[in-house]
Structure 1
Amino acid sequence: MNYSKRAFALTASAALAALPVFAQQTTPSAEDTVELDAFVVTEMADFADQAILGTTPVAFTTFDKEQITKELGSRDIPLVLNSAPSIYATEDSGGAGDARVNVRGFSQRNVAIMINGVPTNDMENGWLYWSNWDGLGDVSQSIQLQRGLSNTSLPMPSIGGTLNIITDPSASEAGGSVKTEFGSDSFWKVTGVFNTGILEDKFALTVGAVHKEGDGKFDYGWTKGEGYYLGATWFVNDTNRLELYGIAAPQQHGQRFDANIAVWSAKEAKKLGYTDAQIAAVERFNNSPRFYGSGPVDAGFDFNSNAAPVDPSYTGQQYYWGGLHNRYDANFMNERVNYFNKPQVNLNWFSELSDNAKLATVFYWSGGEGGGSGTYGSIQRYAEGTSLVQNYDWNATIERNQNRTPDANGELSSYGILRNSNNEQNTYGIISKLTYDFSDEVSVTAGVDWRTAEIDHYREVRDLLGGDYYWYTGNDFDTTDAQRKKRLGDKIAYFNTNTVDWLGLFVTSKYNSGPIDAFGTVGYSNIDYSYLDHFTDVGGGEKLYAEANGLDGAQIKGGISYEFSEQFSAFVNAGYVDRAPIFDGAIDDSTGQLVPDPTNETYTSVEIGARWATPSENFWISANAYFTTWRDLTGTDVDEQADIVTYQRGINSDYNGIEIEAAYAMNEWVRFDAAASFGDWTYVSDVDYTQYTISTRQQLPSNGDMLYLDGIKVGDQPQTQLAYAVTFFPTDGLSIKLQGRSYSNYYADWDVFTRNNPNDREQSWKIPSYTVFDLHVYYDIPAEFGPFDVSLFAHVFNLLDETYVSDASDNSQYEGLPVGLAGTESHTAQSAGVFFGQKLNWNIGARLRF
Structure 2
Amino acid sequence: MKLINKSILTVAITLSTASVYYAQQVQDTVSKSKDIDEVILRGVTDIAKDRKTPVAVSTVKAAQILERQGNQELVELLNVTPSVYATKGGGGFGDSQIVMRGFESRNIAVMVNGMPVNDMEGGTVYFSNWTGLSDVTSFMQVQRGLGSSKLAIASVGGTMNFITKSADMKKGGIVRLGVGNNDFLKTSFAYNTGKSDKGWSSSFLMSRQTGATYIQNTDYESYAYYFALGWEPNKKHNFQFTITGAPQWHDQRSYAPSISDYVRYNPDNDGTPDRTYNSDWGYYTNSEGKRVALSNRSNYYNKPVIMLNWDWTINDKSKLSTVAYMSNGRGGGTADLGRVNGRGLTTLVNGQPYFRDAQGLYNYDKVFAENAAVNASTANAGSTLVRRASINSHNWYGILANFQHKINDNWNFSVGTDDRYYYGYHYQVISDLYGAQGYKDANNKNIAPNLVTQTSDYKKLSWNPFGGSQVPLNERVGFSNDGEVIWYSGFGQVEYTKDNLSAFLQGSVSNQGYQRIDEFVQDGITVQRNQTVNRKTGFKNIFGYNIKGGANYNINENNNVFANIGYYSKQPFMNTVYPSNQQVVNPQLTNEKIFSAEVGYGFRSAKFSANVNIYRTQWKDRALRRNIQVPDVTDAYAEMNGITEIHQGVEFDATYKLNKFLEINGMFSWGDYYYKGNATGTTFDGNNNPLTVAGDSNTTTLYIDKVKVGGTSSNSIPQMTASLGATVKPVKDLSIYAGWRFVGKLYSSIDIATFSNIANQDRGVLKLPDYNLTDVGVSYKIRLRDANQFFTIGANVYNLFDTTYIQDGATNNFVKGAGDFKDIPSGATAQQQYSAYINNPNNFYKGIDTTNRVFFGFGRTWAATLSFNF
Same fold by TM (over 0.5)? yes
Name 2:365's counterpart in structure 1: 395
2:852 to 825, 832, 843: 832
1:508/1:304 CA distance change after superposition, 3 Å: same
Name 1:435's counterpart in structure 2: 404
Q: Does 1:164 align with 2:161?
A: yes
Q: Does 1:571 align with 2:566?
A: no
1:53/1:580 CA distance change after superposition, 3 Å: same
1:408/1:609 CA distance change after superposition, 3 Å: closer
Equivalent pair of 2:339/2:382 in contact (CA under 8 Å)? no
2:484 to 489, 499, 524: 499
1:753/1:435 CA distance change after superposition, 3 Å: farther
Deviation at 1:691, TM superposition (A): 10
2:647 to 640, 655, 658: 655
Name 2:126's counterpart in structure 1: 129
Residues 649-798 of structure 1: pairs in structure 2 closer than 5 A:
649-687=641-679, 706-715=701-710, 716-751=716-751, 754-761=754-761, 762-784=763-785, 788-798=789-799
Name 1:370's counterpart in structure 2: 331
Give CA deviations for 1:70-108 in whole Å, capped at 9, x if unaligned: 111132221010110000000121111000000000001
The more displaced of 130-139 and 467-476 is: 467-476
1:819/1:86 CA distance change after superposition, 3 Å: farther
Q: Supply the AA of the counterpart residue of 1:581.
A: P
Q: Does 1:84 align with 2:81?
A: yes
Report the 3-state secondary structure (helix = DSSP H, G, I; strand = E; otherwise coil) of the residue aligned with 1:838: coil
Equivalent pair of 1:811/1:831 in contact (CA under 8 Å)? no
Name 2:24's counterpart in structure 1: none
1:303/1:436 CA distance change after superposition, 3 Å: same
Equivalent pair of 2:43/2:321 in contact (CA under 8 Å)? no
Superposed CA RMSD: 3.5
Q: Structure 1: which 5+ residue stretches go unaligned?
A: 1-33, 269-278, 280-295, 316-328
Name 1:258's counterpart in structure 2: 256
1:389/1:765 CA distance change after superposition, 3 Å: same
Name 1:284's counterpart in structure 2: none
1:306/1:136 CA distance change after superposition, 3 Å: same
Deviation at 1:705, TM superposition (A): 5.8
Name 2:198's counterpart in structure 1: 201
Equivalent pair of 1:546/1:587 in contact (CA under 8 Å)? no
Residues 325-724 of structure 1: pairs in structure 2 closer than 5 A:
331-378=292-339, 388-404=358-374, 415-479=384-448, 483-489=450-456, 490-539=475-524, 543-588=534-579, 590-614=581-605, 617-635=606-624, 649-687=641-679, 706-715=701-710, 716-724=716-724
Report the 3-state secondary structure (helix = DSSP H, G, I; strand = E; otherwise coil) of the residue aligned with 1:537: coil
C-alpha separation between the residues in 1 aligned to 2:200 and 2:717?
A: 46
Give CA deviations for 1:477-508 in whole Å, capped at 9, x if unaligned: 223x7x54442252100000111111111101
Equivalent pair of 2:242/2:306 in contact (CA under 8 Å)? yes
1:307/1:178 CA distance change after superposition, 3 Å: same
Name 1:17's counterpart in structure 2: none
Q: Structure 2: which 5+ residue stretches go unaligned?
A: 1-28, 30-34, 346-351, 457-474, 527-532, 711-715, 825-832, 839-843
Equivalent pair of 1:547/1:587 in contact (CA under 8 Å)? no
Name 2:52's counterpart in structure 1: 55
Equivalent pair of 1:460/1:488 in contact (CA under 8 Å)? yes
C-alpha separation between the residues in 2 aligned to 1:211 and 1:48?
A: 29
Equivalent pair of 1:811/1:828 in contact (CA under 8 Å)? no
Deviation at 1:68, TM superposition (A): 1.2
Give CA deviations for 1:161-203 in whole Å, capped at 9, x if unaligned: 0001111211431111011000001111012211010123311
C-alpha separation between the residues in 2 aligned to 1:138 and 1:702?
A: 51
Q: Does 1:240 align with 2:237?
A: yes
Deviation at 1:810, TM superposition (A): 2.5
Equivalent pair of 1:414/1:469 in contact (CA under 8 Å)? no
**Aligned residue-pair number:** 761
C-alpha separation between the residues in 2 aligned to 1:198 and 1:385?
A: 62
C-alpha separation between the residues in 2 aligned to 1:646 and 1:750?
A: 11
Report the 3-state secondary structure (helix = DSSP H, G, I; strand = E; otherwise coil) of the residue aligned with 1:114: strand
Deviation at 1:713, TM superposition (A): 0.7
1:665/1:690 CA distance change after superposition, 3 Å: closer
Equivalent pair of 2:280/2:295 in contact (CA under 8 Å)? yes
Q: Does 1:44 align with 2:36?
A: no
Report the 3-state secondary structure (helix = DSSP H, G, I; strand = E; otherwise coil) of the residue aligned with 2:76: helix
Q: Supply the AA of the counterpart residue of 1:537.
A: Q
Equivalent pair of 1:198/1:204 in contact (CA under 8 Å)? yes
Give CA deviations for 1:198-251 in whole Å, capped at 9, x if unaligned: 123311112112101113321111111111122332103220101223321111
Name 1:6's counterpart in structure 2: none
Name 1:807's counterpart in structure 2: 808
Report the 3-state secondary structure (helix = DSSP H, G, I; strand = E; otherwise coil) of the residue aligned with 1:594: coil
Report the 3-state secondary structure (helix = DSSP H, G, I; strand = E; otherwise coil) of the residue aligned with 2:286: coil
Residues 4-15 of structure 1: pairs in structure 2 closer than 5 A:
none
Give CA deviations for 1:560-587 in whole Å, capped at 9, x if unaligned: 1111111111111111111111111211
Deviation at 1:595, TM superposition (A): 1.1
Deviation at 1:786, TM superposition (A): 8.5
C-alpha separation between the residues in 2 aligned to 1:578 and 1:539?
A: 35
Q: Supply the AA of the counterpart residue of 1:360.
A: S
Give CA deviations for 1:377-406 in whole Å, capped at 9, x if unaligned: 236869779864244221222233334458
Equivalent pair of 1:335/1:373 in contact (CA under 8 Å)? yes
Deviation at 1:781, TM superposition (A): 1.7
Give CA deviations for 1:687-709 in whole Å, capped at 9, x if unaligned: 4579999899xxx9999963211
1:419/1:812 CA distance change after superposition, 3 Å: farther
C-alpha separation between the residues in 2 aligned to 1:493 and 1:473?
A: 8
The more displaced of 450-459 and 336-345 is: 336-345
1:672/1:427 CA distance change after superposition, 3 Å: same
Q: Supply the AA of the counterpart residue of 2:620.
A: R
C-alpha separation between the residues in 1 aligned to 2:525 and 2:246?
A: 43
Q: TM-score, normalised by structure 2?
A: 0.82
Q: Supply the AA of the counterpart residue of 1:399.
A: A
Equivalent pair of 2:422/2:485 in contact (CA under 8 Å)? yes
1:163/1:556 CA distance change after superposition, 3 Å: same
Deviation at 1:784, TM superposition (A): 3.7
C-alpha separation between the residues in 1 aligned to 2:320 and 2:273?
A: 59
Name 2:63's counterpart in structure 1: 66
Name 1:276's counterpart in structure 2: none
Deviation at 1:718, TM superposition (A): 1.3
Equivalent pair of 1:637/1:753 in contact (CA under 8 Å)? no
1:718/1:237 CA distance change after superposition, 3 Å: same
Equivalent pair of 1:364/1:428 in contact (CA under 8 Å)? yes
Q: Supply the AA of the counterpart residue of 2:808.
A: D
Report the 3-state secondary structure (helix = DSSP H, G, I; strand = E; otherwise coil) of the residue aligned with 1:396: helix
Q: TM-score, normalised by structure 1?
A: 0.83
1:486/1:387 CA distance change after superposition, 3 Å: closer
